[in-house]
Amino acid sequence: MASTSDIRNGMCIEHNHDIFKIVEFQHVKPGKGAAFVRTKLKSLTTGRVLDNTFPAGHKIKEVRVRNYKFQYLYKDDMGYHFMNNETFEQVSLEEKFLDRPDLLQESQEVTILFHDEKNIPLTLDMPPSIEMEVTYTEPGVKGDTATNSLKPATVDTGAEVRVPLFINIGDKIRVDTSNGSYMERIKQ
> Could you read off the pLDDT tens digit of each residue along the chain, which spans 188 residues?
888 888 888 888 999 888 898 989 999 998 888 999 999 998 887 778 899 999 988 999 998 888 899 999 999 988 899 999 899 999 988 887 787 888 998 889 999 888 888 888 888 888 899 999 999 998 866 665 666 788 899 999 889 999 988 888 999 999 998 888 999 998 87
Count CA within 13 A, CB hemisphere, residue 14. 8
| 7: three-class secondary structure by DSSP | coil
52 and 71 inside one domain:
no
120 and 134 inside one domain:
no
Number of domains in the chain: 3
Domain of 88: which CATH number? 2.40.50.140
Range of the domain at 148: 129-185
Domain of 47: which CATH number? 2.30.30.30
Report yes or no: 22 and 66 within 8 Å, Cβ to Cβ. no
7 and 51 inside one domain:
yes
55 and 71 inside one domain:
no
Spatial distance between the Cα atoms of 187 and 172, rounded to a whole number of angstroms: 8
Q: Enter the pTM of the model.
A: 0.74
50 and 78 inside one domain:
no
